[in-house]
Amino acid sequence: MVHAVANAPTFVVLDDHAAVLAGTCSVLQEQYPDSKIATASTATDAETLISDTPPDLFVMDLSVPVKDGDKSQTQTGLDLLKTLLADYTDLNIVVQSAHVRSLVRLKPIIDTHQGGFTIADKSLTSNEMLTKVDWALKGLLYTPPEMRTGLEVKPEWLKVIELAFKESLTDKAIAERMHVGERTVRYYWTRVQDALQVYPDDGINIRVQTYVRAREVGLLD
């Protein structure tokens, strides 16, 4: 069991599942008896809580709704996280999620974040999760092995993947959306496929291979 911090910390915990939210809060309260914990079940509520009074630590799930009544989506959590990393450079964060692979999309800004940042897969035990909480409160960075494989995907390459597979756009339409030539789009394809180690294989569509591999490494849901 990790040791409690000297001063009673304040937490904001975001999770759209009531039972998981209650469980996380219970574990935190037991470990930090004097702590103050605010909870949210939507990205909007969490952002409001943090903007009102930034906590010592923000614990968040990734698959959450924007607001009550919306569908929970990993992209919502990623969008919220991207905003918080930009607006609160010293905020300590623990991402507690079953979708940790998707965080590879934010790797460049995670790597430069000045606050503590740790990732705790939801399969971890309570003690293992508390270790990640302790590390984040101490300002440490922890990302799982799959985010430390050296995969480097530039924003424009990721944009091509998203437009092709999420919006089903052709290369011509992608070029128009991105205000570049089709030749540039094809260049992006070759670069992202090399990064993903996807190469032509007789009888297998390379775009299908790219889609499968992009999902495996977390670039797509």
| CATH classification at residue 141 | 3.40.50.2300
Residue 32: closest CA among 58, 61, 3: 3
Question: Quick one: tokens of 209?
Answer: 């291979």
Residue 136: closest CA among 120, 121, 125, 149: 120
The reported pLDDT for the residue numbered 80 is 98
- Mapped onto helix, strand or coil, the DSSP state of residue 121 is strand
Q: Is the dihedral of CA 142, 90, 84, 150 positive or negative?
A: negative
The pTM score is 0.73
Per the structure, the count of domains in the chain is: 2
pLDDT tens digit sequence for 53-107: 999 999 999 999 999 999 999 999 999 999 999 999 999 999 998 888 888 889 8
H/E stretch holding 96 reads strand 93-97
Residue 203 binned pLDDT confidence (cut-offs 50, 70, 90): confident
On whether both 63 and 172 belong to a single domain, the answer is no
Q: How many CA atoms lie within 13 A of 70 on its CB side?
A: 18
Judge whether 4 lies within some domain: no
* Residue range of the domain that includes 179: 155-216
| CATH classification at residue 175 | 1.10.10.10
On whether both 20 and 97 belong to a single domain, the answer is yes
The reported pLDDT for the residue numbered 4 is 41
Q: How far apart are CA 57 and CA 38, in angstroms?
A: 11
Q: How far apart are CA 1 and CA 88, in angstroms?
A: 29
User: Which of 93, 128, 147 is at the close of a domain?
Assistant: 147
- Mapped onto helix, strand or coil, the DSSP state of residue 169 is coil
